């Protein structure tokens, strides 16, 4: 470690985890339960062949619901839910029509053939995380008009499933092998709020001008941990959170973020951004609150707006910092600080460690960012 210096203005709790070098939890990424090992069948290695799979669990006691699939659990006081998770299932059981919430995570399901979910047209929520799904029949999902949440993280899909139902609000497909997005798959998903495609194999060529067309209300797009070299084109303008960490992005086209009036969170840690690839006012946009640019090759602090509250620039190549230059307000203009809170830069948290900077923190920086609660250099 070069030099560590923490500047404490009154409260400062966030810093504790950072100072220990631990990344803060990423918003929007859920922790998923680990598959439970079966007690009778110790499994030291990942099974490679279906013959290696542990046997399905014996059926449980009879349920109060005569239509309850024997391999699942139907909670008596929650008749719209069906728990079939962590039961070594190879296929989707017959789902009763009364079910709205279906838990199938942590099994060994390999495909969703046409008869899956037949008659279960009331489904609103399906969790298929951590299975081995490679194939989804085109006709399976379109017959679920009420489906709002589809979770298929940690499967083996090579493309985004087609014929997604219109009312979908959340589609989670992280940790698959997705390298293709069929044309028009999202075109009718006007209600989709969250699209999670992180940890896949998406490259630049996959994204066409019309890929995201129709996603009028999309708020969060997560394309982190893919192999993008360029910014994705035509991202829906309603977007609020854009996550692109751990790609290979070198440049941002001029004015790229100007098209997104609501954009408040940008994460681009672990890319290949340098000053050359960053047009001057790339991130100087009015509603941005949080900007993550750690682990790039940036040597000058980019221009920011008054509204920005959190800025992460640690582990870049910054050699010097001039508080007057990066100050989004005119320093001399706000000597009457208390009466002019609107114009005081909102920055509260700034990370600059892992650069070529040495303490102390320049005075003009502190003069400008008077609401700063912590700076890490």
Ligand X SMILES: *[C@@H]1O[C@H](CO)[C@@H](O)[C@H](O)[C@H]1NC(C)=O
Binding site for ligand X (CB under 6 A): 1-2, 94, 118-119, 281, 284, 303, 305, 314-315, 322, 324-325, 353-354
**Residue among 188 and 297 whose Cβ is closer to ligand X:** 297
Which residue spans within 27-151 are E strands per DSSP?
A: 81-83, 101-103, 111-112, 125-127, 135-136, 149-151
The nearest distance, CB 84 to ligand X, in angstroms, is 15
Nearest distance in Å: CB 192, ligand X: 28
Can you state the percent helix, strand and coil of the chain, rounding each to 5?
A: 10, 15, 75
User: 360: buried, middle or exposed (CB in 10 Å: 19+, 13-18, 0-12)?
Assistant: exposed
Cis before residue 217, ω within 30 degrees of 0?
A: no
Q: Which is nearer to ligand X, 128 or 327 (CB)?
A: 327
Of 43 and 119, the one with the shorter C-beta distance to ligand X is 119
Tell me the residue nearest to ligand X as measured from the CB: 354
Return d(Cα 229, Cα 227) in angstroms, integer. 7
- C-alpha to C-alpha distance for 347 and 213, rounded to whole angstroms: 34
Segment 172-175 long-range contacts (CB within 8 Å, at least 24 positions apart): 172/129, 172/196, 173/197, 173/200, 174/198, 174/199, 174/200, 174/222, 175/199, 175/200
Cβ-based nearer residue to ligand X, 118 or 124: 118
Q: 112 with 136: CB under 8 angstroms?
A: yes
Residue with smaller CB distance to ligand X, 119 or 343? 119
Considering the complex, what minimum distance in angstroms separates the CB of residue 256 from ligand X?
Answer: 15
**In the complex, what is the shortest distance from the CB of residue 320 to ligand X, in angstroms, rounded to a whole number?**
8
**How near is the Cβ of 146 to ligand X at its closest, in Å?**
17
Judged by beta carbon, residue 1 or residue 209, the one nearer ligand X is 1
CB of 180 to ligand X, least distance (A): 30
Choice between 236 and 354, CB closer to ligand X:
354
Minimal distance, residue 364 CB to ligand X, in Å: 7
Helix or strand holding residue 325 (H, E)? helix 323-326
Cα 290 from Cα 237, distance rounded (Å): 18
- Rank residues 56 and 362 by Cβ distance to ligand X and give the closer one: 362
Are the C-beta atoms of 93 and 73 separated by less than 8 Å?
no
Residues 6+ apart with CB under 8 A from 2: 353, 354, 356, 358
CB of 353 to ligand X, least distance (A): 4
Q: How far is the CB of 90 from ligand X (least distance, A)?
A: 17
Residue 174 or 314 with smaller CB distance to ligand X: 314
How far, rounded to the nearest angstrom, does the alpha carbon of residue 194 sit from its chain's CA centroid? 9
Cβ neighbours around 228 below 10 Å, total: 20
Contact 222, 247 (CB under 8 A): no
């Amino acid at each position: 470690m070069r030099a560590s210096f923490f500047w404490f203005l009154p409260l400062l709790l966030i810093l504790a985890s950072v100072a220990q070098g631990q990344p803060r939890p990423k918003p929007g990424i859920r922790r998923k339960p680990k598959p439970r090992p079966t007690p009778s069948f110790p499994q030291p290695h990942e099974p490679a062949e279906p013959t290696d799979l542990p046997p399905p669990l014996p059926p449980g006691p009879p349920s109060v619901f005569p239509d309850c699939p024997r391999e699942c659990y139907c909670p008596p006081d929650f008749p719209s839910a069906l728990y079939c998770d962590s039961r070594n299932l190879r296929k989707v059981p017959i789902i009763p029509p009364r079910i709205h919430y279906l838990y199938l995570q942590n099994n060994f399901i390999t495909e969703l053939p046409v008869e899956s979910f037949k008659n279960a047209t009331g489904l609103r929520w399906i969790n298929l995380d951590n299975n081995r799904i490679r194939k989804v029949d085109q006709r399976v999902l379109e017959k679920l008009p009420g489906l709002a949440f589809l979770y298929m993280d940690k499967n083996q899909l090579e493309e985004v499933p087609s014929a997604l139902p219109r009312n979908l609000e959340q589609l989670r497909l992280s940790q698959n092998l997705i390298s293709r997005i069929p044309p028009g798959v999202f075109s009718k998903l006007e209600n989709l709020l969250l699209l999670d495609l992180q940890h896949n194999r998406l490259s630049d060529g996959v994204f066409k001008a019309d890929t995201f067309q129709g996603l009028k209300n999309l708020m969060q797009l997560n394309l982190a941990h893919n192999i993008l070299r360029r910014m994705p084109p035509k991202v829906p303008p309603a977007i609020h959170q854009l996550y692109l960490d751990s790609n290979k992005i070198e440049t941002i086209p001029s004015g790229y973020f100007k098209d997104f009036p609501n954009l408040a969170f940008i994460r681009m840690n672990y890319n290949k951004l340098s000053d050359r690839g960053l047009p001057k006012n790339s991130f100087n946009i009015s509603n941005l609150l949080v900007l993550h640019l750690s682990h790039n090759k940036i040597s000058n602090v980019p221009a920011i707006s008054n509204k920005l509250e959190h800025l992460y620039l640690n582990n870049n190549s910054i050699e010097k910092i001039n508080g007057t230059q990066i100050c989004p307000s005119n320093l001399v203009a706000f000597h009457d600080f208390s009466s002019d809170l609107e114009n005081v830069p909102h920055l509260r948290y700034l990370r600059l460690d892992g650069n070529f900077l040495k303490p102390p923190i320049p005075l003009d920086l502190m003069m400008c960012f008077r609401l700063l609660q912590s700076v890490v250099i």
